[in-house]
Amino acid sequence: MKSTPEMCDILIVGAGPSGIFTAYEAKKNNPAARILILEKGHSIEKRKCPKRKNGVCVNCDPCAITTGFSGSGSFSDGKLSISYDGEVGGDLIRYINPEQFRRVMHYTDDLYLHFGADPQVYGLDHSPTIDTIRRRAAQAHLKLIESGVRHMGTEKAYEIYSRIQQALEDLHIEMRFNTIVQDFLIETNPSGEKEIRGVITQDGKQILARKTIVGVGREGSDWLSGMCRKYSIASRVGQVDIGVRVETDAGVTEEIDSTLYEAKLIYYTRTFEDRVRTFCWNPRGEVAEERYGSLAVVNGHSYKDQALKTRNTNFALLVSKSFTDPFKTPIEYGRYIAELGNMLSGGKVLVQRYGDLKRGRRTTASRLVKNIVQPTLKDAVAGDLSLVLPYRIMMDLIETLEALELIMPGIASDGTLLYGVEVKFYSNRIIVNSEFETSIKNLHVLGDGAGLTRGLMQASMNGVCMGRMLTGVWSPL
């Protein structure tokens, strides 16, 4: 006998910040709603990254850093970007009005504070040092973006998200872990529109829902792009961000670290006029490896606890590339370049001294041992990034580092380490209306995986907006 499919009111795919804040806000506003979250990874207490303990990546499937309750949030550096004009961390400002944006940011920030985030915010005051940094940036043709940063810290972010998981359990939100959603159930309704009825999990189970919300992050962006192709869900080829992670002695970045915490700088390069930005700044932090299936890419984080701080600061330097017709697969492009790096390093992250890159020679293990800046990513393999990155990206990175030298003397010195490849897979932007609904009725998409956000704060805000819209407490514009 065929079993009756399970039914819920709101089905959320992915327990990243966008998904969990959707559930929290919807349940708070409508306690009677039956909300089910399906998540590929583990619940937070079971999320363990062996590499964080013994330094060696054992290729967990799925990766504990990017999957499980709170998605990429729980092992992240936990920097909440507080940018009331919407310039940082996503494009949510395109979907809600500026006043709503400010209110939701304030509300979401308060929730993080409620769950235990540090009250200190960096970068919003106007100290003479910040004015000097801004002046030097202008002289180097670098744009310094005004934004505050609340730093949760890697170990604290884990604690904060653990409390949020508990809060969702207390609200009787059902969460099913180790459950991969494989397909959508899409039908044509009596009005002739395509409408989603629910999803099919990897073990073939059908789950039906009135509304299906998909917040699968960068981890799920490949899968979601596949779904868009399969069901002709309207989406647009976005940009791909490719570059390196820069690591230097914390003394070089000290002025910025202590006043702004992170400097969001934008540079248009001389040769190609490409847009290059600094991103994800980690004062006295660690460079980390991030895995997407078998692909090793680079990232970074830093601990709140003084005892866990290192002597180095790291940040990403990313070139934003948009593509025009006929090219439609930026994710594959980024992946291909990262795979080249993996190929040369036996499946690991590559590291090269800036001085070696400029001299056109590879960094060897013996050159690395003698380097002043010692890598915090211990199993990175010394190599040659010029064999991996396209000429245009290489030139963009070199020109930007030379410009950064004017505000951070020492950053373009021989000993600075460049790790590759850092690539951001938030390229496919799904076309949504002001309720984040796709061209398929009742299918809503959120967060990084949909190309709408690029960070914890806006992904969480996206969830808050969705939760309110689902429960009718707030209508969009």
- Residues within the interface to ligand FAD (CB under 6 A): 13-19, 38-41, 65-68, 71-73, 75-79, 81, 89, 180-181, 215-220, 223, 280, 288, 290, 299, 301, 447-449, 453-457, 459
CB of 325 to ligand FAD, least distance (A): 28
CB of 243 to ligand FAD, least distance (A): 15
- Report the residue number, 215 or 283, with the smaller CB distance to ligand FAD: 215
> What residues contact residue 434 under an 8 Å CB cut-off, 6+ apart?
95, 96, 476, 477
Q: Which is nearer to ligand FAD, 153 or 383 (CB)?
A: 153
Residue 69 or 267 having the CB closest to ligand FAD: 69
By beta-carbon proximity to ligand FAD, the closer residue of 38 and 250 is: 38
The C-alpha angle 121, 125, 126, rounded to 5 degrees, equals: 155
Angle, to 10 degrees, between the axis of helix 456-470 and the axis of helix 98-114? 110
Residue 235 and residue 212: Cα distance in Å, rounded?
18
* Minimum distance of ligand FAD from residue 425's CB (angstroms): 10
Residue number, 13 or 357, with CB nearest to ligand FAD = 13
Quote the Cα angle for 315-317-320, to 5°: 140
Which of 27, 47, 44, 48 has the alpha carbon at shortest distance from 36? 27
Shortest distance in whole angstroms from residue 14 CB to ligand FAD: 3
Sheet of 142-144: strand order equals 142-144, 265-268, 275-282, 312-322, 239-249, 417-424, 350-353, 381-382
CB of 12 to ligand FAD, least distance (A): 9
Of 82, 45, 62, which Cα lies nearest the Cα of 264?
Answer: 82
How many whole angstroms separate alpha carbon 118 and alpha carbon 115? 10
- Compute the least distance from the CB of residue 276 to ligand FAD, in Å: 19
CB of 457 to ligand FAD, least distance (A): 6
Nearer to ligand FAD, 63 or 319 (CB): 63
Decide whether 73 or 341 has the Cβ nearer to ligand FAD. Answer: 73
